[in-house]
């Protein structure tokens, strides 16, 4: 999961066998570089980590990074795909992901999206709430189909992570709470409604989680619910534990490795099965960040450098909060290097800011780097998850391209947006084309 910082004889950063300075010349900046070998290794580690479970499935959480190419890449690696909107579903289908390998999530799916999911026969629809349960049952009956579903449960476990990316606590917008018998009542309802086949239960307690103990608590709650259902004669054969494993963004971060995470989960599942006298259900995990986060590096060009006497030295890059909103959203921290000065000592302290018209457009508050000059290349690590996926066109800045690198070769996954792309959907109403009209 760690970044392997390689440099060549020229003192340039190397990723996936490619000289990053040459990548910047070939593809321009800002540029998102995807180290496919790193991502593929992470997928393999997940498989190995869960291999002692009787039955398991690894589902890539597309919300972390979803393009047609990435969806295809993940499918080639043998992973299933989690989507949360009609748009993500469309990307998955365009990529050729088999419908059966798609998990359809979301806390406010539209009837149209549910209808499409039914028509396509997606693998599982993860039902978030009672309104959706009834809506789906109606749609399924009208279409004479049966939907294979999981129920999203709010297990009441507080993962120790930023409150904006906590999702398992009892006060959350996601899922059906275990409190006041709501979850078990929903299980009973799901079994009684026509057009639905309840396969199991789902939960996701948050993201960028370091403390594995939160998973043990969650597993206990979920297995207890499965036992409660079994006592009523309802067999839940699948347990989806969501994603959430953290990654090392900065030196102080100490996430568990994928291997330790798998071993911990397996142990906790086996003891919960013994405690509740249950057979282990099929286990699913839905990693996003821990599959692709460290595989992404954003390469920016340094522009203005401003020494504020008595305060800080600001270095500005040709990107910022529109391509990486995580810093402004939840104070995320990043590590970076100067890709063309890997052989120089970091002797100066900088604040790295973006080009956008917001004071909160700061990428790194304080970082030691070699002396910066305009034109240098700043490589910010661990930007593979929730960066491109959350990017916007704020200030009408086109989104950067993504290139995948593998053993010295680089290929486009997403092209750079153009100014024409920015205005593709813009229109001028005819009335506004005339001079001196009312309201104009």
Shortest CB 375 distance to ligand PLP, Å: 35
Q: Is 406 helix (H, G, I), strand (E, B) or coil?
A: strand
> What is the radius of gyration, based on Cα positions, of the chain?
24
Q: Judged by CB, which is closer to ligand PLP: 141, or 257?
A: 257
> Please, are residues 244 and 159 in contact by the beta-carbon 8 Å criterion?
yes
Q: How far is the CB of 157 from ligand PLP (least distance, A)?
A: 14
Sorted by sequence, the CB contacts under 8 Å of residue 254 that are 6+ apart come out as: 210, 248
Going by their DSSP bridges, the two strands 147-154 and 102-104 should be labelled as unpaired
In the complex with ligand PLP, the residue whose CB is nearer, 58 or 402, is 58
List residues binding ligand PLP (CB under 6 A): 61, 63-64, 82, 105, 204, 207, 242-245, 286-290, 385
C-beta closer to ligand PLP: residue 244 or 370: 244
> At residue 147, what are phi and psi to the nearest 5 degrees?
-95, 130
For residues 426 and 419, give the distance between their C-alpha atoms in angstroms, rounded to a whole number.
12
When the beta carbons of 172 and 410 are compared against ligand PLP, the nearer one is 172
* CA–CA distance, 272 with 279 (Å, rounded to integer): 10
For the four alpha carbons of 110, 173, 240 and 94, in that order, the dihedral sign comes to positive
Beta pairing class for 31-35 and 56-61:
unpaired
Three-state DSSP state, 266: helix
Burial of 359 (0-12, 13-18, 19+ CB in 10 A): exposed
Find the shortest distance in angstroms from Cβ 436 to ligand PLP. Answer: 51
3-state secondary structure of 139: helix
Nearer to ligand PLP, 21 or 165 (CB): 165
Please tell me which residue in 18, 191, 203, 357 is annotated as part of the active site: 357
Report the C-alpha gap between 122 and 135 in whole angstroms. 17
Quickly list DSSP for 179-244: GGGHHHHHHHHHHHSTTEEEEEEE---BSSB--THHHHHHHHHHHHHHHHHHHTT----EEE----
Nearer to ligand PLP, 57 or 82 (CB): 82
317 vs 327, beta carbon nearer ligand PLP: 327
Least distance to ligand PLP, CB of residue 210, Å? 12
Nearer to ligand PLP, 362 or 385 (CB): 385
203 is catalytic: no
- Is residue 352 within 8 Å of residue 315, measured between CB atoms? yes
Instruction: Please tell me the distance from the alpha carbon of residue 381 to that of residue 379, in angstroms, as a whole number.
Output: 6
Question: What order do you get walking across the sheet with 6-7 strand by strand?
Answer: 6-7, 13-15, 18-19
> What six digits make up the tokens of 287?
């990693």
CB of 140 to ligand PLP, least distance (A): 22
Kindly state the smallest distance separating residue 334's Cβ from ligand PLP, in Å.
16
Token representation of residue 136: 């789906």
Residue 208 CB, nearest distance to ligand PLP (Å)? 6
Query: What letter does residue 342 receive in the DSSP assignment?
Result: T
CB nearer ligand PLP, residue 282 or residue 348: 282
Q: Are strands 282-285 and 56-61 parallel, antiparallel or unpaired?
A: parallel
Cβ(383)–Cβ(324) below 8 Å: yes
Angle separating helix axes 130-142 and 182-192, nearest 10 degrees: 10
CB of 173 to ligand PLP, least distance (A): 11
CB of 107 to ligand PLP, least distance (A): 9
- CA dihedral angle for residue 368, residue 160, residue 51, residue 226, rounded to 10 degrees: -170
Q: Could you list the active site residues? A: 357
């Amino acid at each position: 999961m760690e970044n392997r910082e390689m440099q060549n004889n020229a003192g340039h950063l190397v990723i996936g066998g490619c000289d990053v300075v040459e990548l910047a010349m070939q593809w321009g900046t800002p540029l998102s570089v995807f180290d496919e070998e790193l991502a593929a290794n992470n997928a393999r580690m997940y498989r190995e980590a869960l291999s002692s479970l009787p039955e398991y499935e690894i589902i890539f959480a597309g919300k972390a990074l979803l393009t047609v190419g990435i969806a295809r890449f993940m499918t080639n690696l043998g992973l299933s795909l989690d989507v949360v909107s009609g748009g993500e579903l469309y990307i998955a289908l365009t990529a050729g992901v088999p419908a059966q390998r798609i998990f359809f999530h979301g806390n406010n799916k539209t009837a149209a999206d549910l209808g499409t999911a039914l028509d396509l026969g997606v693998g599982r629809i993860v039902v978030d709430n009672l309104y959706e349960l009834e809506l789906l049952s109606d749609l399924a009956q009208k279409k004479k189909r049966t939907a294979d579903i999981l129920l999203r449960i709010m297990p009441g476990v507080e993962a120790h992570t930023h409150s904006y990316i906590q999702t398992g606590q009892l006060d959350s917008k996601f899922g059906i709470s275990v409190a006041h018998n709501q979850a078990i009542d929903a299980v009973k309802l799901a079994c009684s409604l026509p057009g639905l086949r309840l396969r199991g239960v789902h939960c996701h307690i948050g993201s960028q989680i370091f403390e594995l103990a939160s998973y043990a608590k969650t597993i206990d709650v979920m297995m207890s619910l499965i036992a409660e259902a079994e006592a009523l004669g309802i067999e839940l054969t699948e347990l989806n534990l969501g994603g959430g494993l953290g990654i090392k963004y900065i030196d102080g971060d100490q996430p568990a490795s994928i291997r330790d995470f798998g071993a911990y989960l397996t142990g906790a599942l086996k003891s919960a099965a013994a405690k509740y006298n249950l057979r282990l259900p099929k286990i699913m995990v839905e990693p996003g960040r821990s599959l692709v986060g460290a595989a992404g590096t954003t390469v920016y060009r340094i522009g203005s450098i401003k020494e504020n006497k008595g305060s800080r030295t600001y270095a500005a890059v040709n990107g910022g909060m529109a391509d990486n909103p995580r810093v402004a959203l939840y104070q995320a921290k990043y590590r970076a290097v100067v890709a063309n000065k890997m052989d120089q000592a970091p002797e100066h302290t900088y604040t790295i800011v973006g080009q956008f018209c917001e004071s909160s457009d700061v990428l790194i508050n304080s970082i030691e780097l070699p002396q910066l000059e305009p034109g240098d290349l700043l490589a910010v690590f661990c930007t593979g998850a929730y960066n491109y996926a959350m990017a916007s066109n704020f200030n009408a800045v086109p989104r950067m391209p993504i290139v995948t690198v593998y053993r010295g070769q680089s290929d486009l996954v997403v092209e750079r947006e153009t100014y024409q792309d920015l205005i593709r959907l813009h229109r001028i109403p005819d009335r506004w084309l005339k001079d001196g009209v009312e309201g104009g």
